[in-house]
Structure formats: structure tokens, C-alpha cells
């Protein structure tokens, strides 16, 4: 795939547009590192729910986030097909199919590594990962009974075109669920500390930028989505974000002790994770949201 800017209609809210090549390189090199983050290969933050999750067992919170997405998809018990746009290693796909045995899932990612290794993990399931750009998939119009996007649309700044593609592939009456970090205000209005961490976050994780939550809601409605629900779940996500300063350095230390070279993208991942932690301290500017929207 040639290196093209993923910025389409609206100016990217970060300082730089991420290229598809830089996203692919990042995930081809850094995906393996996520084994330390989640044995189930969840490449997202978690959702703390008293009684269901354990603050010290990260995967309980990461899988609870998958469960929260499943609840909001509002699926029936019939055979259904879900798309995961920016699916990583298919951790969410596997979780959803385990909970709903009649479900089939289709994931798309830019990373060859994730296609190859993710499909191995999906062997003997009704799940498949394709190497496609979620801005322009090969999925037919109105084919999906649900679409999920967990910490993936940030790579295109949650822009209009990205949301439009999700709308195109959904059946009428079915839902899109997005879980991600968003800005609470225009990037130009961020305080100095937030600007600093935002810049580092976007650079390290190859993000176009985070969408401004009010603008994203407006765009979803303009595209045609209705019943757009915006939930600020920052406090539920915070406990898993607090794992970052312990989990990542420990992983790098283990790699070093094993005599393994720390790859460039692993350093980028490490730096971006700390900027994410720093951003999380600026709650006036950043928030973590679950967005549910119906076609």
C-alpha cells in the first residue's frame, strides 16, 4: 500500500497527518509487545466494573470493555455479521463470538502482521481478518448487523469519511459502537501541558489526532445516524490506564534481560503510553468515551 495521508475532508486536529505506511509499520513491529498487555491480545484500555473486574488483573478490565461494546450492539440471537474496523489481533472479535456463538465477524487492519497472526488465532471460528483500509472497505452497502471501532478511528482523527464508511456498511436500525479517547475542545484551545502530551501521543502512536467529541457527535448526526449516545467513561477506564507505568517498563526490562533488541516502534509505543497517562491527568481537555449510534 502506498504511503498516503489518511486525512480526507476535515483538517487533522493533530499537528501532523499519520500515513497509512507509518500506521502499518507501527503495528507490524509493535503488535507483539501487546502480549505483555493482554494475554487475550486486547489492544485497548479496560472498563472497571465493581464485582466483575479485578483492579490488579488487567485482562478482566480489557474484556469488560469488550462486554460493554457487546451490550451496546444490542444483537439478537440470530445469525449475524459484525465488522471490527481496525481490529488489531481480533481480540474483540474472538470475545464477541465466544459470547454469541451464532455470530460471524469480519475485521480489517492495515498491518500484515495482524492479518497473518490474528487469523491464526481465529482458526476454527467464524472470524476473518482482511488487510483493508477502513476508510474504503470492500464490504457491500448495508451488510453489517453491527460495527465496532475500539481505539482505531483515532488514527484518522475520527474524521467524517471514517464515520461515513461505517454508516455505509451498516444495515438500517443497526449500531456502530466506538470506544476511544477524544478531545473536549478544539486542539488550539488546549492548555500547554495538554498540547505537549497530545503531540507526543499522536507522534508515538501514529495518530492523525483525536476527534473533538461535540464535533464527532455533530458529524454522526449529519451523516444520518440517530440515537447518538455519548458516554464519558474516563473514570472507569482510569484504573487500566494506571497499569501503564508498571506494565510497559517491566516488559522492556524483561526484553533487555533476555538480550532482545528493543525495536524503534516499541520505544514509540512506550513513549505514547506515557503521554496517554499524562493526557489522562488533564481531564478538562481529554476524555474517554463510548459512542453508540444507530443507522
* Site of interaction with ligand SAM (CB under 6 A): 6, 23, 27, 42-44, 86-88, 91-92, 108-111, 114, 133-135, 150-152, 155-156
* Residue with smaller CB distance to ligand SAM, 87 or 202: 87
* Residue with smaller CB distance to ligand SAM, 29 or 214: 29
Tell the smallest beta-carbon distance from residue 231 to ligand SAM (Å).
17
* Residue with smaller CB distance to ligand SAM, 150 or 166: 150
Tell the smallest beta-carbon distance from residue 195 to ligand SAM (Å).
22
* Residue with smaller CB distance to ligand SAM, 39 or 256: 39
Tell the smallest beta-carbon distance from residue 6 to ligand SAM (Å).
6
Residues 160, 114: Cα–Cα separation, whole Å: 26
Tell the smallest beta-carbon distance from residue 23 to ligand SAM (Å).
5
* Residue with smaller CB distance to ligand SAM, 118 or 239: 118
Tell the smallest beta-carbon distance from residue 162 to ligand SAM (Å).
8
Tell the smallest beta-carbon distance from residue 243 to ligand SAM (Å).
15
**Among 239, 260, 238, residue whose Cα is nearest residue 251:** 260
* Residue with smaller CB distance to ligand SAM, 6 or 252: 6
Amino acid at each position: 500500500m502506498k504511503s498516503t495521508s489518511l486525512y480526507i475532508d476535515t483538517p487533522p486536529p493533530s499537528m501532523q497527518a499519520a500515513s497509512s505506511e507509518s500506521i502499518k509499520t507501527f503495528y507490524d513491529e509493535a503488535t507483539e509487545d501487546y502480549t505483555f498487555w493482554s494475554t487475550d491480545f486486547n489492544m485497548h484500555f479496560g472498563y472497571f466494573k465493581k464485582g466483575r473486574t479485578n483492579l490488579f488483573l488487567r485482562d478482566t478490565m480489557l474484556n469488560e470493555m469488550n462486554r460493554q461494546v457487546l451490550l451496546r450492539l444490542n444483537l439478537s440471537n440470530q445469525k449475524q455479521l459484525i465488522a471490527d474496523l481496525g481490529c488489531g489481533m481480533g481480540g474483540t472479535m474472538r470475545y464477541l463470538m465466544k459470547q454469541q456463538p451464532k455470530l460471524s465477524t469480519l475485521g480489517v487492519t492495515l498491518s500484515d502482521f495482524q492479518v497473518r497472526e490474528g487469523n491464526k488465532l481465529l482458526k476454527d471460528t467464524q472470524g476473518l481478518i482482511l488487510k483493508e483500509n477502513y476508510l474504503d472497505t470492500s464490504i457491500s452497502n448495508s451488510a453489517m448487523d453491527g460495527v465496532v471501532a475500539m481505539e482505531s478511528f483515532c488514527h484518522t482523527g475520527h474524521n467524517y469519511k471514517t464515520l461515513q464508511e461505517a454508516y455505509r456498511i451498516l444495515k438500517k436500525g443497526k449500531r456502530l459502537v466506538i470506544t476511544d479517547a477524544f478531545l473536549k475542545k478544539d486542539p488550539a484551545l488546549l492548555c500547554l501541558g495538554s498540547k505537549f502530551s497530545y503531540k507526543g501521543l499522536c507522534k508515538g502512536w501514529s495518530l492523525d489526532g483525536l476527534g473533538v467529541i461535540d464535533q464527532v457527535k455533530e458529524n454522526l448526526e449529519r451523516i444520518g445516524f440517530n440515537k447518538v449516545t455519548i458516554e464519558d467513561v474516563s473514570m472507569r477506564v482510569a484504573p487500566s490506564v494506571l497499569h501503564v507505568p508498571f506494565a510497559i517498563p517491566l516488559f522492556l526490562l524483561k526484553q533487555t534481560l533476555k538480550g532482545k533488541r528493543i525495536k524503534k516502534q516499541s520505544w514509540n509505543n512506550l513513549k505514547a503510553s506515557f503521554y496517554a497517562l499524562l493526557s489522562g491527568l488533564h481531564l478538562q481537555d481529554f476524555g474517554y468515551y463510548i459512542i453508540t449510534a444507530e443507522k
